Amino acid sequence: MIHEVDDVLRAMIRAEVLEGRQIAVVFDAPTREWAAKVNAPMVNLYLYDIREDMRRRERGLHNEYDERGAIVARRRPPRFFKLSYLITAWTKRPEDEHRLLSSLLACLLRYEALPPERLAGSLAEVGAAVPMSIALPPPEDRSFADVWSALGGELKPSLDLVISVPVTASPVYEAGPPVGDEGLRAEFGDVPASVLGADASGGAGGGGGATEAQPGRPGLPVYGSRPGRPAREPTRAPGGERGRAVSLRITERRGRPVEEAGAPMPPSGRDT
């Protein structure tokens, strides 16, 4: 993952900044001993810090689909890690270094993320953007002077490049088979008027029974009635309208009725 970012940066700088000039692109630590051995122009991108970008962390799971659009697996979302590069230019004259740094800054400012066409390997497989920023103020917990002090070198003009790389090193959870036509099925509908004791016009009837068997269906309890207790009257609205009841019908895999129950609903404004 890190080496793939190195390859992208090297290719970008060679193609858009150096343009064929004989200037090397390296990723060495610019220590005092290393600087003493430099005898040719070069651009150094030293990776000095790696830490997670907590602002981009997500929770939950991401679905993976097959060619039919069915979910086949789930995995945790990628986590982003910030790679911080210290970019320096090394030539014999400070003016040439400043000119080279200007070209590097102009090149990197064109992009808010690594160009998608340059991504390869795991960076391309993730399918997420790889954000980048250049020359922003350093975090409060460190300064560039501290970096140079740790390296034992002399302070030198530099650019700070930060790239947030997505990493998907998480387990994959296989999804179960898609739900077909078999299995439990719930059907909702109004309770028949004969069960509610209403006549054809919607008025109250004289049935008064708690249940009434339907052809091929078991008795349907009315308004939460229980065995041994009388059925309750349907709830009436302040204007006298009769309430509604809904039956819940659950069928098994082969369509055999299992359970039916009635439940009151708020008044609908008309008799049912």
Domain boundaries, the chain: 2-174, 179-272
pTM over 0.75: no
Query: Which amino acid does the sequence have at 258?
Result: V
222 pLDDT band, cuts 50/70/90, is very low
C-alpha distances in Å from residue 191, one per residue of 52, 197, 201, 222, 261: 58, 11, 15, 8, 9
Give the span between the Cα atoms of 9 and 159, in whole angstroms: 14
Give the span between the Cα atoms of 246 and 4, in whole angstroms: 62
Q: For 44-84, how does the pLDDT look when each residue is reduced to its tens digit (9 = 90+)? A: 999 999 999 888 887 777 777 777 777 777 777 888 999 99
For residue 176 the two structure tokens come to 């179960």
